[in-house]
Amino acid sequence: QACTYPCQCPSQALQCPAGTSHVLDACGCCKVCARQLGELCSLQKPCDHHKGLYCDFSKIHRGSGICLAHEGATCDLLGKIYHNGESFQPTCKLQCICMDGAIGCIPLCSDDLRLPSPECPNPRRVKFRNKCCEEWICEEGQEENRFETAMAVFREDAAEKPELNNLQENCLVQTTEWSACSKSCGMGISARVTNDNPQCRLEKETRLCMVRPCDFPMEKTKKGKKCVRTPKPRQSLHFEFSGCTSTRSYRPKFCGSCTDGRCCTPYITSTAQVEFRCPEGDFFQRKMMFIKMCSCHYDCPRDNDIFLATHHRQMTGDHV
């Protein structure tokens, strides 16, 4: 189909199934839901290139093709074999994809942190019959308890009904520590809860984190020592996240490793905004952890990488 300019795209927000990328059409105009393995495709309905799929026009005529995957290793999950590029649901709570021997999954149930609020001071998760995902319900409490829960984050000498412009001034800032990075190598996620915002509301906050790259060359352990010092790249590098690249380069510190069973994790960190540019031309900013000092210890965090394979592979998807 011929392209027409200026571009005219639908005004409604694009709604795609879970795990489906938003990609540009052949005209470079509008974002569309990427076609998946085995689905019909065309120039206006491209395949999901983030998952290594391409449109093969040799099998179907009249300008249409079928999405196929480039050759790659298959995946074995509990004795069942999946082909490269194949999507599947091992449980009703997970949507997974096989990518050249590695399995990546995204949750289909909302695990968003539910915090007390004046409308719902006692939230509780309940499993309903014939439903896969648990749902939040509010347990009714006494009016006194509801008032105390809602006002707990404000100073005692504040007005009974603080005005909006005084919320920040009367707010007692409460912030938890950042959680451990979700991946031992490569890009992961770290989270905390804070009410340091204009509404003085407890909210979940996330930042990107990288303890060490998966392919970073580690220095040899010096004689008499069991741990490698915190390495720093000799050349500046660009961060990659969901197929997008940071607009500027960095020389971050990374944590080393130990040979006696201890873990080397970040001890002192800072947080900064990093801007990313995507192949489709979009820009977005994300908070990211920068390591200042690492420590070695036996209290090792559990490995909760999304990949179920024993080796590390990087899966690039579309950004939110």
Percent of the chain residues past pLDDT 70, beyond the cut: 75
**Can you name the residues that pair with 125 across neighbouring β-strands?**
136
Q: Are residues 118 and 218 in the same domain?
A: no
Instruction: Give the domain range for residue 134.
Output: 111-138
In a domain, 284, yes or no: yes
Say if residue 86 is in the same domain as residue 119.
Answer: no
Residues 207, 120, single domain; the answer is no
Distance CA 195, CA 175 (A): 7
103 and 124, same domain (yes or no): no
CATH number at residue 276: 2.10.90
Let me know whether 121 and 197 are in one domain: no
Stretch among 30-39, 51-60, 308-317 having the lowest mean pLDDT: 308-317
Return the pLDDT at 247: 94
| Residue 209 sits in the same domain as residue 128 | no
Q: Is residue 117 part of a domain?
A: yes
One domain for residues 203 and 125 = no
Q: Could you tell me if residue 247 is inside a domain?
A: yes
203 in a domain, yes or no?
yes
Q: Is residue 130 part of a domain?
A: yes
Q: Look-up: residue for tokens 């309903």?
A: 128
| Residue 119 resides in a domain | yes
Question: Could you give the number of structural domains in the chain?
Answer: 3
Task: Determine phi and psi for 123, rounding to 5 degrees.
Answer: -75, 145
**Structure confidence by residue, pLDDT tens digits, 43-75:** 888 888 877 788 888 766 677 888 888 777 788
Residues 220 and 128 in one domain: no
On whether the CB atoms of residues 252 and 269 are closer than 8 A, the answer is no
pLDDT above 70 (res 37): yes
In a domain, 60, yes or no: no
List the single range of 56-60, 89-93, 209-213 with lowest mean pLDDT.
56-60
Regarding whether 122 and 80 lie in a shared domain, the answer is no
Assigned domain for 37 exists = no
Mark whether 292 and 231 lie in a shared domain.
yes
Tens of pLDDT along 116-136? 666 676 777 788 888 888 887
Q: pLDDT digit string (tens) for 162-199?
A: 454 455 567 788 888 888 888 888 888 888 888 888 87
What is the number of residues in the chain? 320
Q: Are 95 and 194 in the same domain?
A: no
Residue 258 has pLDDT above 60, yes or no: yes
208 and 244, same structural domain?
yes
The Cα–Cα gap between 298 and 135 comes to: 37
